[in-house]
Amino acid sequence: MLHPMKFLCLPVALWLASAAAALAAESVVIDVWPTKAPGENGQIGEEKILEQKPGEKPVMRITNVTRPTLKLFRPAREIDTQAAVVICPGGGYSILAWDLEGEEVAAWLNSIGVTGIVLKYRVPKRAEASRFGPPLQDAQRALSLVRSKAQEWGLDPQRIGMLGFSAGGHLTAAASTNFDKRTYDAIDAVDRVSCRPDFSVLLYPGGMIDNGVLTPEIRVNGETPPAFLAHAGDDKVSPENSALYYLALHRAGVPAELHIYASGGHGFGLRPTPAPCSTWPQRCADWMKSRNLLNRSPKP
């Protein structure tokens, strides 16, 4: 496993390749729900990986998800901070950009001593539900499930965050502002555990604004978790999504940090580009450190 400082020294492409190879043998997958997810009727079809089209960015695109899971990636024991992050890949609530905005992000989190947990939430949109309804159920259950397993997994239950890209950023904001009202009927003891993220990271979130204001499901108040946000100014998904969320947090007295880079477009993930948006992981790690999220927890 890579030492945190090596992330700053290795070319990112090489680092991603080596980290992904190291993680492949170390992941654990668990179901989010003990039985089928709420409202699932089996009409979506079999889960599949979409074939890459000519000219498309090389990304593993997963769709037809009916069985939500959590894929757990642990950092090396000697750098483990006991912090954890539930990762929500983007994809317009239609697909999940599984490697670009999921497993590669878990590898980076591991390099700074954080457990990365990739959430495979339900996509695409169901005809009978809102675009984010089933995914929000999955996210709330996932956060409660991770926190319920904190002792078993050696995690700090008060340092469990959430990170999302694009639609996953919207999902992260929705989970961060709706933890007071679970969107499904409780089914077991896990659902009595808090589903509030302790902190959040939103990368080029979309679908959060309508006519210049935040959409109704983004209910910011003083209890909303602290947030780090990064967006590119030339993103076709307007950076106003991040800016208005930041302003709402600021007005509510919630600590937040916002970076709007001059260029970078949409969907840059962690992969290297000439644009300054590629520095967001370092800035995010600095922010996490400033929030005391990367301190080594004392071992019993």
Q: Are strands 115-120 and 69-73 parallel, antiparallel or unpaired?
A: antiparallel
Q: What is the pLDDT of residue 56?
A: 84
What are phi and psi for residue 240, nearest 5 degrees? -60, -25
Alpha-helical runs (H) found in the chain: 6-9, 12-24, 104-111, 133-148, 150-153, 167-177, 240-251, 280-290
State the pTM of this model.
Answer: 0.91
Among 41, 166, 31, 40, smallest CA distance to 97 is for 166
Beta-strand ranges (E) seen in the chain are: 28-31, 48-49, 61-63, 69-73, 84-88, 96-97, 115-120, 160-165, 200-203, 209-210, 213-214, 227-232, 256-261
Q: Are strands 160-165 and 115-120 parallel, antiparallel or unpaired?
A: unpaired
Q: Which one of 2.60.40.10, 3.30.420.10, 3.40.50.1820, 1.20.1250.20 gives the CATH number of domain 6-40+60-290? A: 3.40.50.1820
Residue type at 6? K
pLDDT reported for residue 57? 86
Q: In this structure, is the dihedral angle defined by the CA atoms of residues 247, 250, 254 and 257, taken in order, positive or negative? A: positive
Output Rg (C-alpha) for the chain, integer angstroms.
Answer: 18
pLDDT score recorded for residue 20: 53
**Per-residue model confidence as pLDDT tens for the chain (300 residues):** 444 434 443 444 445 554 554 554 467 999 999 999 999 987 889 999 999 888 888 999 999 999 999 999 999 999 999 999 999 999 999 999 999 999 999 999 999 999 999 999 999 999 888 999 999 999 999 999 999 999 999 999 999 999 999 999 999 999 999 999 999 999 999 999 999 999 999 999 999 999 999 999 999 999 999 999 999 999 999 999 999 999 999 999 999 999 999 999 999 999 988 899 999 999 999 999 999 999 976 554
Place of tokens 């929500």: 88
Q: Which residues contact 9 (CB under 8 A, 6 or more apart)?
A: none
Instruction: Give the length of the chain.
Output: 300
Q: List the chain domain ranges.
A: 6-40+60-290
Cβ neighbours for 292, distance < 8 A, ≥ 6 positions apart:
none
**DSSP per residue, 124-138:** S--TTS-TTHHHHHH
Q: Are 97 and 59 in contact (CB under 8 A)?
A: yes
Is the Cβ–Cβ distance between 19 and 107 less than 8 Å?
A: yes
